Amino acid sequence: MNMRTIALVPAPARLRAFAALCKLRVNSLIVFTAMIGMLLAQEGFPPAGRFVAASLGIWLVACAAAAINCLVERTVDARMMRTARRPLPTGAIAPAEALGLAILLGGAGLTVLHLWVNHLTLWLTLATFLGYAVIYTAILKPATPMNIVIGGASGAMPPVLGWTAMTGHLAAEPLALFLIIFLWTPPHFWSLAMARRDDYARAGFPMLPVTHGIRLTCLHSLLYALMLAAASYLPVTLGMSGALYGVAVSALNAMFVAQAWRLWRNYTDADAWRMFRGSLVYLSGLFLALFVDRLLLPWLPF
């Protein structure tokens, strides 16, 4: 599709296409975990102005990283059933426009963090952007089946960014949250990669189920689920949460480990999809339990 054809696309469709580049559903989870990091960083609720500024800045940079990801992978996206209808493969948006959007959003987000948050959060957010958009997307993903294990460090940064946005320094507590997301990321993505292994093979990505098979990937997913279950109790040992979180995360661990065990014992694509959806429930539920236990429970009338 040439620029003249792109110009004829109705404005609402163009806006939806630009929004799709930003992967809003994925980034909503990223900002949610960053917000929980902010809320856990101090007693009571954080200053509203800094909370809003940090959330906005992190969200804008995350959207910029998503746009760069779509730009770099536009050719292989066209060969995958899951991604073929994204704006760049379909021609709804030109590559130059995607780059411009990423520069605009990333620059705006970093400016917000510079002016209204602090320099540590600014630099950590920039490092997270480079880790995802360059190291993971451009270098690791097409090169190694361990791409998501190494690249998952970028996706694990949001609660650390939220914490430093409120405190201006690092501590053991946000690093525990980092470890939880870091260990959650491989089984989350591997379940999708197993269900879509033909898509990834067609695109030429050396995902673990493509290069080493389903059986080994299921075993690795189970091992990571077990390590995740152990790490998920760190907030209790560090005094970040109490009994309510402990009960909630125990139930989540039972669900997620059972899904990983079932997948390893008798793989089906349906169970892989079930584990992928379960992983989203797991992470959202874990951070919601942290929020309720730490900040809402003391205010409840019972």
Q: What is the pLDDT of residue 2?
A: 45
| 86 CB-side CA count, 13 A | 27
CA separation for the pair 77, 199 (Å, rounded):
10
CA separation for the pair 240, 297 (Å, rounded):
13
Q: Which two tokens stand for residue 33?
A: 């975990």
CA separation for the pair 241, 40 (Å, rounded):
9
Considering only the top CATH level, what class is 1-169?
mainly alpha
CA separation for the pair 278, 275 (Å, rounded):
5
Q: What is the pLDDT of residue 15?
A: 87
Q: At what angle do helices 48-72 and 95-116 cross, to 10 degrees?
A: 160
Q: Which two tokens stand for residue 183?
A: 């260990």
Q: What is the largest distance, in Å, between two alpha-carbon atoms of the chain?
A: 64
Q: What is the pLDDT of residue 300?
A: 56
Residue 280: C-alpha distances to residues 78, 189, 238 (Å): 26, 11, 24
CA separation for the pair 28, 34 (Å, rounded):
10
Left, alpha or beta for 241 (phi > 0: left; psi -120 to 50: alpha)? beta
Q: What is the pLDDT of residue 6?
A: 52
CA separation for the pair 161, 55 (Å, rounded):
10
pLDDT by position in tens, the chain (length 302)? 444 445 456 667 788 888 898 998 889 999 999 999 999 998 778 899 999 999 999 999 999 999 999 999 898 888 888 888 888 888 888 999 999 999 999 999 999 999 999 999 999 999 999 999 989 988 888 888 888 888 889 989 999 999 999 999 999 999 999 999 999 999 999 999 999 999 888 888 899 999 999 999 999 999 999 999 999 999 999 988 888 999 999 999 999 999 999 999 999 999 999 999 999 999 999 999 998 887 766 665 54
CA separation for the pair 161, 266 (Å, rounded):
39
Burial class (CB in 10 A: 0-12, 13-18, 19+), 6: middle
Question: What's the predicted TM-score (pTM) here?
Answer: 0.92
CA separation for the pair 59, 31 (Å, rounded):
6
Q: What is the pLDDT of residue 152?
A: 86
Q: What is the pLDDT of residue 213?
A: 94
Nearest to 78 by CA among 64, 70, 65, 89: 89
Q: Where are the domains of the chain?
A: 1-169, 171-302
3-state SS track over 10-25: CHHHHHHHHHHHCCHH
